[in-house]
Structure 1
Amino acid sequence: MPDYLREEILLHPENRKFPPFDLSRLLGTVFEPTKDCRVCILIDFDEPAELIQNFAFLDQPGFPVQKNAYEHFYLGLKNGVMEKLQMTGGEMYAYRCTYGSNLDLEDDVWDTDGNHLSLDADIYSKYDLVLCISTFSATAPLTAKCKEFNFRGATLHGLNDIILNSGLAVDYHRVSEDAEKIRLALTKADSIEIDFELEDGRVLTAWLGLGGQEAQKSHGLCNGSKPDIANLPAGEVYFVPTDARGQFPMKYEDGTLGVLEVEDRCIVHSTLIEGNQATIDAHNARLQDDPMTGTLGELGFGTQVLPVSGADIQDEKVLGTCHLATGRDDHLGGDILPDMFKRHENSTHDDILFAPHKTPNFNISQVRMIRGEQKEILIENFRPSRFVMDALAAGH
């Protein structure tokens, strides 16, 4: 793609044209399934036994993610995709909702006849490909399970129509190529500095030590024989911080804004900017009760040009955005494990996305990479820098 056209699309990502969603193309590209590869779909409910039996959830209001899983994946597999890709299976199962990002799944699972089964004994050990289309992300627990039971799969939580028609309609060979170009541009960075400009004019700076580690990528291709889980839509480069300090703003779910203080890689305190003081107090109480909940486990950068979907699973993959995450990072090669938390329900991996639509109350004025004597600007005002654009343009 010519550089001028890339920049025009960056300014107006809504103008990017996508081909129609094609399940056979998606699965064929991402997995390259071999003959007789056995595939299944996992979805989640508060009451899975009742709602999955005879697909009862289809006659109930709500459940948009699960209905998308049925319409676009289950029916797609049954109506020609399995035959085209020479796969078998295609069954759908339901497990109990975890109520938290990347929390471990209970072993209980139910089939569409209402039979009570075991994820370990009846799913992970019997299928080659597991597609988890759920309310909350299951990437971390499935990454651990795939290594134990030798399967591959994908997590597609929060699936909606925008994601289907953009983030899952792209050419994942190209997504992988672009992610690798940015990965090579950032790998072995010593540190990253992020400047956040608040509405009152203050500038907060967060410093993240990376220790010269190899950058990693979430690029969507999961087509080897090695057990692996793709997080779809894909398209990011990420690090596991070894250290962090400074401050960064936080927009809570209720709209409350706070300033988070970071020491020794951990969020230690939140201070109210505006909104509900009780929200800040609750966060501080959680940090005091279980300090591991404030540990920074990821720094990620989006690598794709995509429209805003309203779901972080896609929106954190948008070029010009970055995100931090707290909590477990074992699925990323980090050292924060679920059993290190005081309570099971705290052992989540929670992304904090910085993007214009998500955090309009503050701007990322600049992101800088330091690598030895080299210092490069990566993002300015939520736009990729010339350094990043040149990396993407290489080879075109």
Structure 2
Amino acid sequence: MSMPAYITKEILADPTKREFGEFSLSRLLGTVFEPTDGCRICILTDFDDPAAMMKNHAYLEADGFPVQKNAYKHFYQALHNGVMEELGMDGGEMFAYYCTNGSNLDMKDPCWDAEGNELSLDNDIYTNYDIILCITDWSATAPLTAKCKEYGFRGATLHGVNDIILNSGLAVNYDEVSEDAECVRQAMTKADEVEIDFELEDGRILTAWLGLDGQEAQKSHGLCKGKEPDVANLPAGEVYFVPVDARGQFPMKYDDGTLGVLEVVDRNIISSTLIEGNQSTIDEHNQRLADDPMTGTLGELGFGTQVLPVSYSDIQDEKVLGTCHLATGRDDHLGGDIVPDMFKKHENSTHDDILFAPHKTPNFNIREVRMKRGEQVEQIIENFRPSDYVLQSLSR
């Protein structure tokens, strides 16, 4: 029994030293969606003005839009340059819908093709394609998961795709990713509780406790094989729980760099207190919590299971072994009980990940993560490194 060859002390300390094969769309689709023969495939992307940007692929001549340009170059063109023929697929069209401007918000129905025709996601896309690749600025995993169950397609969400992700997180063997995720899942499933100790720069220790009630751990492993409706979130490689309770404190680094301490009671963030930065940022968050308390409900606890380089896009970076993340808001796509109708306003019904990783939160350390399962107590993470218990679970 030994760990996968790419998991060494040297690579764990510096994941950029891991060698990856060249990105291959054919290999990715063939592995993730087997079987593909006879499937109709399309690509979805998002713009603030989808009618104008999608017509004749106008975004290709405009400044910006790196994700959409990657969708065109590495997915749309590749499909038409042999990948569909190789995998026995057809279709290959690309469509654009309105940006949601929020993580996992439901999408508006209108969309446009490259000829400038207005179409309907419900009536023209979900009903006419077997595999849908959603390559966007804003994550659509939650709404697309709901739609796949309604309309019967398979798909993958790949928001924020950049060159690092293409050459690492999407260039791996997803059968192996799935196997590694299952190993970690087995090591953590049916946990009763998890405690996370956060160490601040001033030496304070904050502890967050999450009650899991012995639930089966779930995995985001990247495979949608067979014919059952499902949506993969790529890059994948994660084990996660839907908390049933939570309390304590944890630090938060806001988009503007402000640091705060979040107070959690009965699974809900009830307040934020300034550590350093802008008090106005803290006040704005507290106002949002007071106005719509559901925005502070904890809907996910996740742990990365892959060894990957930092991509500076959370879609990959939350999958890195030795990191963990919490998420607030809707969790219906994870099997949870928080649905969009529970929020005061539609724009509040997001699913927002809070990633704890050295590059993302250098102002504080994950000193230790502990899991309790019956009488068993195991260390999961120490100082942003996977524990021996987790590494041993990966031996095969």
Aligning the two structures, in what range does the TM-score lie when normalised by the shorter sequence? Answer: over 0.9
**What stretches of structure 1 of length at least 5 have no aligned partner?**
none
Closer/same/farther in 2, CA of residues 103 and 171 from structure 1, 3 Å limit: same
Deviation at 1:7, TM superposition (A): 2.4
The counterpart of 1:161, out of the listed 160, 163, 169, is 163
- Quick one: distance in 2 between partners of 1:44 and 1:126? 19
Runs (4+) of structure 1 moved beyond 3 Å?
Answer: 1-5
2:219 equivalent in structure 1: 217
1:251 equivalent in structure 2: 253
Closer/same/farther in 2, CA of residues 9 and 36 from structure 1, 3 Å limit: same
Specify the code of the residue in structure 2 equivalent to 1:11.
Answer: A
SS at 2:128's partner residue? coil
The counterpart of 2:310, out of the listed 308, 313, 338, is 308
In 2, are the aligned partners of 1:33 and 1:87 still within 8 Å (CA)?
no
Closer/same/farther in 2, CA of residues 291 and 25 from structure 1, 3 Å limit: same
Deviation at 1:6, TM superposition (A): 2.3
- Quick one: distance in 2 between partners of 1:7 and 1:155? 32
- Quick one: distance in 2 between partners of 1:233 and 1:168? 6
SS at 1:27's partner residue? helix
- Quick one: distance in 2 between partners of 1:22 and 1:99? 30
Number of matched residues?
394
The counterpart of 2:184, out of the listed 182, 202, 205, is 182
In 1, are the aligned partners of 2:380 and 2:386 still within 8 Å (CA)?
yes
1:278 equivalent in structure 2: 280
**What stretches of structure 2 of length at least 5 have no aligned partner?**
none
Deviation at 1:33, TM superposition (A): 3.3
- Quick one: distance in 2 between partners of 1:386 and 1:168? 27
In 2, are the aligned partners of 1:156 and 1:231 still within 8 Å (CA)?
yes
Deviation per CA, 1:54-104: give whole Å up to 9, x if none: 011100010000000000000000000000000000000000000000000
Percent identity over paired residues: 75
The counterpart of 1:18, out of the listed 2, 17, 20, is 20
Deviation per CA, 1:203-229: give whole Å up to 9, x if none: 000000000000000000111211000
SS at 2:183's partner residue? helix
Specify the code of the residue in structure 2 equivalent to 1:270.
Answer: S
The counterpart of 1:117, out of the listed 87, 106, 119, is 119
The counterpart of 1:317, out of the listed 316, 319, 338, is 319
Specify the code of the residue in structure 2 equivalent to 1:293.
Answer: T
- Quick one: distance in 1 between partners of 2:239 and 2:92? 32
In 1, are the aligned partners of 2:156 and 2:234 still within 8 Å (CA)?
yes
Specify the code of the residue in structure 2 equivalent to 1:119.
Answer: L
SS at 2:368's partner residue? strand
Deviation at 1:234, TM superposition (A): 0.1
Specify the code of the residue in structure 1 equivalent to 2:237.
Answer: G
- Quick one: distance in 1 between partners of 2:106 and 2:326? 21
1:350 equivalent in structure 2: 352
Specify the code of the residue in structure 1 equivalent to 2:69.
Answer: K
Matched, 1:151 2:161: no
- Quick one: distance in 1 between partners of 2:205 and 2:54? 50
In 1, are the aligned partners of 2:4 and 2:394 still within 8 Å (CA)?
no
In 2, are the aligned partners of 1:329 and 1:335 still within 8 Å (CA)?
yes
2:108 equivalent in structure 1: 106
Closer/same/farther in 2, CA of residues 298 and 2 from structure 1, 3 Å limit: closer
Deviation at 1:362, TM superposition (A): 0.1
Deviation per CA, 1:324-357: give whole Å up to 9, x if none: 0000000000000000000000000000000000
Specify the code of the residue in structure 1 equivalent to 2:310.
Answer: V
- Quick one: distance in 1 between partners of 2:66 and 2:326? 27
Deviation at 1:3, TM superposition (A): 7.3
| Equivalent residues in 2 for 1:59-208, closer than 5 Å | 59-208=61-210
- Quick one: distance in 2 between partners of 1:119 and 1:182? 37
Specify the code of the residue in structure 1 equivalent to 2:235.
Answer: P
Deviation per CA, 1:114-169: give whole Å up to 9, x if none: 00000000000000000000001000000000000000000000000000000000
Deviation at 1:286, TM superposition (A): 0.1
